[in-house]
Amino acid sequence: MNFKTNYILILIIAVLGFANEIFAQQDAQYTQYMYNPMNVNPAYAGTRDVLSIFGMHRTQWVGLDGAPVTNTFSLHSPIKEGKYGIGISVMSDKIGPIDESSLSIDYAYKLNLSNSILSFGLKGHFNLLNIDYSKLDIYDTSDNQFMNDVENKFSPNIGAGLYWYSDQYYVGLSVPRILETKYYNNTNFSSTARERMHYYIMGGYVFDLNNNIKFKPAILSKIVSGAPVQLDLTANFMFYDKFIIGGAYRLDAAYSLMAGFQVSNKILIGYAYDKEISKLSNFNSGSHEIFLRFELFENSTNVFNPRFF
């Protein structure tokens, strides 16, 4: 495949073609979501009881021109003696001719239960979309559908979530974007690309196998109308509160290997490699994901450190 032909393939994958109101899973995808669930669940804001700064870079489907590249930066912190949490996230997501940038502001209220905490979260989301059709190899250059680029299309949104957690487990339910936004609409051809609500369900539990080894299975399910249910199953081991190694399986999509290193109480780095098992495996050599988490202002009376999530 040549450069621009691959772009066409990626565009088709991204929005499943500009056919009569077609829906797809548009949210950016992460293998190591458990280290920064705030991207999809605003109730996570402030739950680590420190100022937590997180950055991630993901290169998906390496070897396929125009494949997704995602960069995320976020920070969150408790306020008002830990009763509330606030957070902010910025993201850049590029796929073929499509370039999206977003800003999210999160607010959480935490309710102390007997041995756990229930957090309620709200998200304000602001998105800018650009589509550059010159990056496509267009068969019919007179086709009006591709005459005008999409430039800085602004769309606000809101989201909500619940996050119940203790030092050993967590359970979350969220809808990061509630409003169903039309990203593209061509009146001449009645073609629409629309974002549907994505429902996220997540959970994990930390087992202390002995004084030096912890085991954490986790699950993430993403549900959206018009697309198959996405299910991520993950299992990680932590050795001596320093070294993390594990694997994951994304239903009918990919296998993953993960590794992490707790450099200090404040710094965690991690890496993941995804191997596709779908038909896309014929066109790429896998996906790479790396992150860095840096934390400040630790309150030793409140923090289970290093916490596994």
Instruction: With cut-offs at 50, 70 and 90, classify the pLDDT of residue 274.
Output: very high
Q: Is the pLDDT of residue 6 over 60?
A: no
In this prediction, residue 284 has a pLDDT band, given cuts at 50, 70 and 90, of confident
pLDDT band, residue 3 (cuts 50/70/90): very low
Its sign, for the CA torsion 27, 30, 31, 36, is negative
Locate 280 and state its tokens. Answer: 């896309």
Q: What is the pLDDT of residues 15-47, one digit of tens each?
A: 443 333 434 445 778 899 999 999 999 999 999
Question: Which are the contacts of 129, defined by CB distance < 8 A and separation ≥ 6?
Answer: 98, 99, 100, 150, 152, 153, 155, 183
Q: Is the per-residue pLDDT at 145 higher than 50?
A: yes
| Non-local CB neighbours of 258 within 8 Å, separated by 6+ positions | 31, 32, 234, 236, 244, 245, 246, 247, 248, 270, 271, 272
In this predicted structure, what is the pLDDT of residue 138?
Answer: 63
Chain segment 63-103, per-residue pLDDT in tens:
888 889 999 999 999 999 889 999 999 999 998 888 999 99
- Identify the H or E element spanning 11: helix 3-15
Q: What is the pLDDT of residue 272?
A: 97
Residue 13 has pLDDT above 90, yes or no: no
What pLDDT sits at residue 194? 62
pLDDT of residue 193: 56
Question: 56: pLDDT confidence band, cut at 50, 70 and 90?
Answer: very high
pLDDT score of 239? 96
Which residues lie below 8 Å from residue 240, measured CB to CB, with a gap of 6+? 212
Domains of the chain (ranges; CATH) run 3-296 (2.40.160.40)
Highest-scoring range by mean pLDDT, 5-14, 67-76, 273-282:
67-76
Greater confidence (10 vs 195) lies with: 195
Residue 284 main-chain phi, psi, to 5 deg: -150, 165
DSSP type of residue 66? T
